[in-house]
């Protein structure tokens, strides 16, 4: 199971994954508020490309 990566320290998060063949989709959900952000990366890029971006997103 993948580890949490994007959620800030102290914030509850859930990480789930789905595999099909050799491919895996990982979803990390955390936070609450009026806005929902879906961060979708390209082939060959892991979730780590969003670590800095998440810290700059407005809360609501």
Residue-level pLDDT, tens digit, the chain, 60 residues: 678 778 888 888 899 898 999 988 888 888 888 888 888 777 777 778 888 888 888 765
Cα gap 54→13, rounded to integer Å: 14
pTM of the predicted model as reported, rounded to 2 decimal places: 0.65
pLDDT of residue 8: 82
pLDDT of residue 57: 82
CB–CB of 50/56 below 8 Å?
no
pLDDT of residue 52: 83
Partners of 29 in the β-ladder? 14
Name the residue ranges covered by the structural domains of the chain: 13-56
């Amino acid at each position: 199971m993948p580890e949490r990566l994007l959620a800030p320290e102290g914030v509850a998060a859930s990480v789930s994954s789905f595999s099909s063949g050799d491919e895996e989709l990982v979803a990390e959900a955390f936070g609450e508020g009026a806005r929902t952000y879906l961060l979708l990366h390209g082939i060959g890029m892991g979730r780590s490309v969003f670590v800095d971006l998440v810290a700059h997103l407005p809360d609501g």
